[in-house]
Chain A
Amino acid sequence: MKYIKYIIVLLLFTMQDVAWAQQRITVTGTVYDASSGKRDPLSSVTILSNGLSIGSTDNNGKFSINVPNNATLVFRTIGYDSKSVKVDNKTSLTVGLTSSSEKIAEVTVTSGYQTKSRTLNTGSAVTISGKDIQGQPAGDVMSLLQGKVAGLNIQNNTGAPGFRGSVTIRGISNINVTGNGNNAFLTPTSPLYVIDGVPVDDNADYSYGFQQAGPGVSPASQIPPEDIEDITVLKDAAATSLYGSRGAYGVILITTKRGNSKVPVVRYNGSAFMSAVPQLRSVIGGKEERLMRIRQILMNDTSAIHALDLVNNTPFLSDSLNAYYNNSTDWQSYFYKPTYNHNHNLNVSGGDVQFNYKVVLGAYDEKGIQENTGYSRYNLNMNMIYNPVQKFKIEALLNNSIQKQRMGSGNGLLNNGVATGGASSSLLPAPSLYSSVNSVLGALTTDDDNKVLNTNATVNIFYDLFRNFKAGVYNSYTTVSSTKDNFSPAALNSNQAKYYTYNDRATTLYNRAQLSYVFGFREKPGDEELAHNFNLFAFSELRASFFKSDAMLNDKVVNDQLRGPLTLMTSYLSSKGGTIGYTDLRTVAFAGNFSYNYKSKYVLDFNYRVDGLSTNGPNAGYKKNPSISLKWNFDRESFLDAWTWLDYGDFRVSYGSNISPNGNIYQAYGKLYAGGRYNNQNTVISDLGTLPNLSLEPTKATTYNFGMDFSIFQNRLSVMFDSYYKQNDHIFKEKQLSSSNSFNVIGSTEISNVNYGWEFQATARPLSPSSPFKWNLSGNFAINREILAKLPDGLREFIQIDNSLGQSLYYRLGTNSLSNYLFNTKGVYTSLDQIPVDPVTGLPVRVGGNGLLNYFKPGDPIYTDLDGNYIIDNYDQVIAGNSQPQITGGLMSLLQYKQWSLEVNTSFTLKRDILNNSLAAQFGLFGKPTEMGGLVPISQYNFWQNVGDDAVYPNPFDFVRSAILNPFRTNQTLFQEDGSYFKLNSVKVYYNVPQTLSQRYGMNRLSINFTAANLGYITRYSGPNPESVSALGRDMSGGYPLPKQFTLGLNVEF
């Protein structure tokens, strides 16, 4: 804060300087809204004199400026017609502005590091105001954008506090899947986040929870939602091409708030919120569980004698008087409970165009609904803009945040300990140190402490070299350090505690130097308007990022109390330590933009960007990404002058490409390491794991976009339509090499996929402007089709075998990339004569060998026998389904009446297939009545019980054959369900306390809000929640349920 003093002194000097130059007077006054009868004061109205901004109104619409006595002042603000007023020696002015019909037309859009008016912006971009995401506390701000932007697909697939859902713009751009079964994860392709002009990479390192090693905090979550001015989503290549490397997955620009009031304003946003446990599954408990198992055995075993023997040999069934087995424990109650949380934000801002500042202090604390999980964030963000003279501007930003995360025994996204614990038999005793259910203790007593420290400093300097020629430099340094300490007590690990510790450091240095020049010609001398306008823009970009992570696992710690320093490891075989991740990436880019428009009617943009990446193979060279876009603002055509109801209308066409880096430097150049001594010489050995790929390419996204926007009847209805074709080439995947080769794999970039689709976004204000009600209705939807276009080595198809659940992925050209490979279940055999019989042998259809138990019976699922050999085996699986949502969108309504406003946000996802692994596991538990595990009532499902039953689910009780037949196998279409849903995201009620009342207490503004979030779903999906499934559409019981959230918020402004 020390320098502010100097700046103020400087500021005073400059003002004095101007004052001497002319005869000046101080003008004060008020600006009000002339279109409403109430004459509401208008805040943040920019006041210009001679085209220069000289001040703005405060929150009460008041202003005080120092101007020449004969000046002409122009009052301008978004949504209102500008008005010019002559001062004529008056020292007090009252100015009324009428709301504008060209409201949207004046909106500016930022893309490609430039801000342009909406008319001149040729790309496909949607801006969401920060106001639209207020009132709902969130660890990750992106979760609040769900359903707000057409083509931005957000699935909040985990309720773990601070974790992010999946964010994709215009479909998936990567088809790689890591892990197996329930732990299979789609490689995320989150868009590039640009926070206040500085790109932040979101796809690096261990920032997703499933990469076990680190804490897993999203870089975008460091910005508290309350501090966001607006968020712009850039979708097509015309908008994103200048972001070049890493812009291939789309770009999201986040602008934080600025100070704009001359009088310092102190705003406080606080909220207390409750996270409620959603409906958990009901469980059969105690005696009922035992009797159910015994009944099942007696009724379904091969013989009565064998059944009795089985029951008597299973102690937890027969020994009902044993205290150890005579319980009714509700395991879920030990994990889940509602939590009470809070969120505070203090924003101090002030200043005017010449100098403004903002300081935000935020604290957010959320305890997860699962025991031992939670997320806290503390941040201190500052920015300052100093604009002493028209020619020079300096911007400084400093963002700091500390984020803490507790993940229990899980990795955040998954909490399998809770899942296995929660699925324990109710007959077992409640958790204690003597309990046998270790996963419960694990989830409850593991100490997991993760801390992420994020500091970002940015200094931007702008200087106008001469008229219309601007230069600017952006410098930013970001450092993120994360630690994770996970202590698992002795009781869990054969009486010797275990300690895992992790730390990483990531630094990014970013520099961008840019130049822009604007010039124009008049068509005829004497024309007022410039007809041919040119804009030249060029920049160079440098980025150096470094990441290193170290981890240590001390397998046998002395005792539970002594948690460090890590001592000599006794169990040297399982204790491990070292550097687990190391990247050092350099990128350099040069880019230029040429923009031309004829009377703002025809706009042509041409962008060109050249990127060099250190991870590119030496033969791949610099990557060149051009883009060209055209826009026709047809509303400006003279022949449409008669269409007075048309506010604006345009067509946009664009083509362009973007890249995103792939792989790492070792995959491009290979790796050498020091070996043992040979012949008394030190040796250097080539790592034979990966064959260097000298032409390792970055992923390239090429987009064609056709768009149309129009607004009619003074903004009563505005519509945006986009249609796109996006091709991602050079998608990275490690390719196995032939075993005759001495290398194992090569990083290949030979995969392509294509996304094409249509996006539609509309806003309507159905009520007349004179109505006391203001109703704003907006909706959007996007249809996305994704097709796999190319596989390595000219393959037409490829199956990625999943060994754990059999849920293999089928990649086939010409269809959606991530298809499931499943047994096609067509129902359940109701009776014996339904079962197909082999005409040659007279045998019914069977699985595996010739045993009596292998033949299908009534009550068994009907699987398609694809090859018609009357044997159901792995060759009978079919390609089925699409795990990616194909239609997404949302509807929003904002109704305002006097001091009250009611906002309803909804979103929907249609045409998506979910594999309900959780239900499969629930049914599967009935197949093992002699093994302990929680039984879930299945009476609400239509399953087969008697011959003649026309059921959906097969007979769960036939435990004798369940191991052979596996009727509840997870890889069948029975459990592939329609995951379409319509979600009520939030309902917000605001009440603005009348200013007359609040000012009595010295408050400028006071508003109270109540928000209920994650209220419910309309869906046909049989599981608990169609949204909290993995990005591959798998609903696993280890997932973290999405809590319902009820918030009471307070906003005060002094």
Chain B
Amino acid sequence: MKTSKSIFKIGIALCLGVLTFSSCKKNLPEERLSIANDSKYNVTVFQPVLGRSTLFNNIFQYGNSSRPLDFKIVNMRTFDGEPAPELTEHYPVLVWKGIYNGTEKSIEEIEAKRTIENHPLFDIRPHSGDFIMWASANSNMIKAQPDSGYVFDVEMSNSGGRKYFQNMRLMPLRERPYEPSNLDPITGQGTSVSVNPTSVFMAGQRGQYFNTRDDVQVLFKKTGNGNSLTIKFIDSLSNPIDPNNFDETDWENLVHGFNMKKDDKQVKYDVAYPIPLSSYPTKYTTVSGDQAHMVFRYSRMAFGNVLQKNYLTFNFKIFEKADWELTFWFKRDKPKFDND
């Protein structure tokens, strides 16, 4: 009996001790992340061009908020305050799941690296706050400029709390299926029929060297809904020039295309769109990888018996999947292929 009483006493002492410490621990601060006042978006008006994937990154300044942060678009609405289901509902979009690096041997191989997923057309990266306008968004469903577009809020949160960034603007621009573009960004109407090539070094048959602004023009033309790219050369009278005249051109690696068909009027490739597929630098692109890069070359013996290396380069992008025809139009004079 006495022993049990003593054990009881000792037990009480133990409990008291344990209690003392558990109550102390309760006062310790919880481990929480912080939300700072200096976190903010550096850009609040977003004007993506429809018909192409646009990523707005480096627009958020974390400040002293601790990562990871969660971002959410809330309250997407039109400028009048009406709901905008076209931007909140999920639509199929083409996303990358493999790395495109220019070594793919067929269109199937390229397509295997892409897949269709459902996403809201205007999306936010959940932890970085970057915005994405998917290529599937088009001006038939999305209000494009000159409309005032949409207004939305962003909720940023972590375990330390939440913060709202209000009245951010989304004002999409109409599709411009290719770059460089002759279309007006607001109206989508062409302001000219053609665009200029990147650089040219060629003499015309009349002896004048070409300039890129007036002498050579590039015309984009959609001929069907397939996935091919055709390249044509025409002279000032729209007569075709035989591409074989540009005999030093690396036709195989001109674009990342397959099944090249070259005759005396045109060169045609089966290609995957967009061109370039990504901005990863490859042999088909500019050094930065931003644009596809085409060079047409030939050499001739010029005046004074010097070897003249002639070239025509064109850096471009095409966003819309179609049968595109690229016509290089020597507007004023035919290039001179013969030796002097």
A interface residues (Cβ-Cβ under 8 A, vs B)? 632, 634, 637, 639-640, 642, 651, 653, 704, 706, 708, 723, 725, 754, 756, 787-790, 795-797, 812-815, 832-833, 835, 837-844, 850-852, 855, 866-869, 871, 875-876, 878
B278: A residues at CB distance < 8 A:
841-843
Residues of B within 8 A of A639 (CB): 2-3, 5-6
Q: Is the CB of B96 within 8 A of A704?
A: no
Selected from A708, A789, A813, A866, the residue in CB contact (under 8 A) with B68 is A866
Nearest-CB residue, chain B, relative to A878: B67
A645 vs chain B, min Cβ distance (A):
13
Q: Which of B20, B33, B99 contacts A835 (CB 8 A)?
A: B99
Contact A634 B127 (CB under 8 A): no
Contacts of B55 in A (CB 8 A): 838, 840-841
Q: How far is the CA of A835 from the CA of B281 in the complex (A)?
A: 17
Residue of A837, A850, A871 touching B99 (CB-CB under 8 A): A837
A852 to B30, CA, bound (A): 44
Given A756-B24, A813-B31, A842 and B99 contact (CB-CB distance below 8 Å):
yes
In contact, B53 and A789 (Cβ under 8 angstroms): no
Number of interface residues of B (CB under 8 A): 54
Which of B13, B96, B98 touches A651 (beta carbons < 8 Å)? B13
Determine if B25 and A756 form an interchain contact, defined as CB atoms under 8 angstroms apart: yes
Contact A640 B280 (CB under 8 A): no
Shortest Cβ-Cβ A-B pairs, 4 listed: A814-B31, A842-B278, A706-B17, A842-B96
Q: Are A837 and B96 in contact (CB under 8 A)?
A: yes
Given the complex, which residues of A lie within 8 Å of B289, measured CB to CB?
A: 850, 852
Separation of A843 and B282 alpha carbons in the complex (Å): 12
Q: A839-B96, A839-B117, A842-B114 are in contact. List 9 more A-B contacts (CB 8 A).
A: A756-B21, A756-B24, A789-B29, A813-B30, A843-B99, A843-B278, A843-B280, A850-B279, A855-B280
Tell which of B21, B67, B96 touches A875, judged by Cβ atoms closer than 8 Å: B67
Q: Does B309 contact A (CB under 8 A)?
A: no
Inter-subunit contact A843/B67 (CB<8 Å): no
Pairs across A and B, CB under 8 Å, 8 listed: A704-B21, A796-B160, A812-B31, A837-B97, A838-B96, A842-B99, A843-B279, A878-B67
CA distance A835 to B25 in the complex (A): 43
State whether the Cβ of B95 lies closer than 8 Å to any Cβ in chain A: yes
B113 within 8 A of A: yes
How close is B274's CB to chain A, nearest CB, in angstroms? 10
The CA of A124 and the CA of B69, in the complex, are separated in Å by: 45
Query: B28 at interface (Cβ–Cβ under 8 A)?
Result: yes
Cβ–Cβ < 8 Å partners of B280 in chain A: 842-844, 852, 855
Which residue of chain B lies nearest to A868 when distances are taken between CB atoms in the complex?
A: B127
Contact assessment for A869 and B57 in the assembled complex, using a CB-CB cutoff below 8 Å: yes
By the criterion CB–CB under 8 Å, are A723 and B279 in contact?
A: no
Is A875 within 8 A of B6, CB to CB? no
Indicate if the CB atoms of B67 and A814 lie closer than 8 Å. no
Docked complex Cα distance between A918 and B20 (Å): 44
Residues on the B chain within 8 Å of A878, using CB:
67
Taking a contact as CB atoms under 8 Å apart, the answer to whether A868 and B126 are in contact is yes
C-alpha gap A840/B131 in the complex (Å): 10
With A640-B6, A789-B29, A814-B30 as contacts: A841 and B96 at CB distance below 8 Å: yes
Residues of A with C-beta under 8 A to B18: 706
- Tell me the complex Cα distance, A706–B33, Å: 33
How far, in angstroms, from A837 to B24 measured CA to CA in the complex?
A: 48
B315 an interface residue at 8 Å Cβ cutoff?
no
Q: How far is B15's CA from A723's CA once the two chains are assembled, in angstroms? A: 13
Contact flag A840-B95 (CB < 8 Å), given A653-B20, A756-B24, A756-B25: yes
Q: Check B95 against A839 for contact (C-beta < 8 Å).
A: yes
Contact check, A723 vs B17: say whether CB atoms are below 8 A apart: yes
Which of B13, B25, B98, B279 contacts A841, CB < 8 Å? B279
CB-CB under 8 A from A708, the residues of chain B are 14, 17
B279 touches A852 (CB 8 A): no
In the complex, the answer to whether B66 meets A875 with C-beta atoms within 8 Å is no
* B21, B132, B134, B289 — most chain A CB neighbours (10 Å): B21
Q: A651-B13, A868-B126, A868-B128 are in contact. Are A844 and B31 (CB under 8 A)?
A: no
Taken together as a complex, chains A and B put the C-alpha atoms of A812 and B32 apart, in Å, by 8
**B188 to A: closest C-beta gap in Å:** 24
**A832 contacts B67, C-beta separation under 8 Å:** no
Interface of chain B residues 87 through 141 with chain A (CB within 8 A): 95-100, 113-114, 117, 125-128, 130, 132, 134
**A867-B34 CB under 8 A given contacts A653-B20, A842-B113:** no
Say yes or no: B20 contacts A706, CB within 8 Å. yes
A708 to B14, CA, bound (A): 9
Q: B30 — nearest CB in chain A belongs to which residue?
A: A814
Q: Return the CB mask of B32-59 against A: 1 if under 8 Å, else 0.
A: 1110000000000000000001010100
A472 to chain B, nearest CB (A): 35
For residue B62, CB closer than 8 A to chain A, the reply is: yes
* Cβ-based interface call for B9 (8 A): yes
Chain A contacts of B2 at CB under 8 A?
A: 639, 642
B98 neighbours in A (Cβ, 8 Å):
833, 837
- Closest B residue to A788 by beta carbon equals B29
Assembly CA distance A561 to B190 (angstroms) = 88
* B128/A725 in contact, CB under 8 A: no
Q: Are B99 and A867 in contact (CB under 8 A)?
A: no
Return chain A residues, CB-CB under 8 Å to B99.
Answer: 832-833, 835, 837, 842-844
Q: Are A852 and B281 in contact, CB atoms less than 8 angstroms apart?
A: yes
Query: Contact: B277 with A634, CB < 8 Å?
Result: no
A653 and B53: CB pair below 8 A?
A: no
Residue of A nearest to B22 (CB): A725
Shortest distance between the CB of B131 and any CB in chain A (Å): 10
CA distance A838 to B132 in the complex (A): 11
| Assembly CA distance A868 to B33 (angstroms) | 18
Tell me the bound Cα distance from A583 to B9 in angstroms. Answer: 53
* Interchain CA distance A871-B18 in the complex, whole Å: 49
Name the contact of A867 in the complex, choosing from B95, B114, B127, B277 (C-beta under 8 A).
Answer: B127
Taking CB atoms, residues of chain B closer than 8 Å to A706 are: 17-18, 20-21
**Known: A842-B280, A868-B127. Is A754-B95 also a contact (CB below 8 A)?**
no
B305 located at the interface, meaning its Cβ lies under 8 Å from any Cβ of chain A in the complex? no
Contact A839 B6 (CB under 8 A): no
Residues of A within 8 A of B67 (CB): 866-867, 875-876, 878
Say whether A796 contacts B32, CB under 8 Å: yes
Closest to B114 in A: A842
Query: Nearest B residue to A702 by beta-carbon distance?
Result: B24
Contact of B69 among A840, A842, A867 (CB under 8 A): A867
Cβ distance B292 to chain A, nearest Cβ, rounded Å: 14
Across-interface contacts of A788 in B (CB, < 8 A): 29
User: What's the least CB distance linking B288 to chain A, in Å?
Assistant: 6
Task: Give Cα A29 to B18, complex, Å.
Answer: 54
Q: Are B31 and A723 in contact (CB under 8 A)?
A: no
Residue of A nearest to B55 (CB): A840
* Contact call B100/A867, Cβ cutoff below 8 A: no
- List the B side residues contacting A797 at CB < 8 Å: 33-34, 66
Query: What residues of chain A lie closer than 8 Å to B74, measured between beta carbons?
Result: none
Question: Residue B10 at the A interface, CB < 8 A?
Answer: yes
Asked if B53 and A725 make an inter-chain contact with CB atoms under 8 angstroms apart, the answer reads no
Q: Is B16 interfacial (CB 8 A cutoff)?
A: yes
**Which residues on the A side are within 8 Å of B117 (C-beta)?**
839
Q: Are A725 and B68 in contact (CB under 8 A)?
A: no
B272 to chain A: closest CB distance in Å?
11
Q: Which residues of A contact B279 (CB under 8 A)?
A: 841, 843, 850
A814: which of B14, B28, B68 is its contact (CB, 8 Å)?
B28
Partner of B3, one of A642, A756, A795: A642
A653–B277 Cα distance when bound, in Å, is 73
**In the complex, residue of chain B having the shortest beta-carbon distance to the beta carbon of A864:** B68
Q: In the complex, what distance in Å separates the CA atom of A756 from the CA atom of B132?
A: 48
**Shortest beta-carbon distance from A702 to chain B in Å:** 10
Q: Which of B10, B20, B25 contacts A634 (CB 8 A)?
A: B10
| Minimum Cβ distance to chain B for residue A404 (Å) | 47
Give the shortest distance, in Å, between B278 (CB) and chain A (any CB).
Answer: 3
A704: chain B residues within 8 A (beta carbon): 20-21, 24
Residues of B within 8 A of A850 (CB): 279, 281, 288-289
Closest to A795 in B: B34
Compute how far the CA of A752 lies from the CA of B281 in the bound complex, rounded to whole angstroms.
Answer: 53
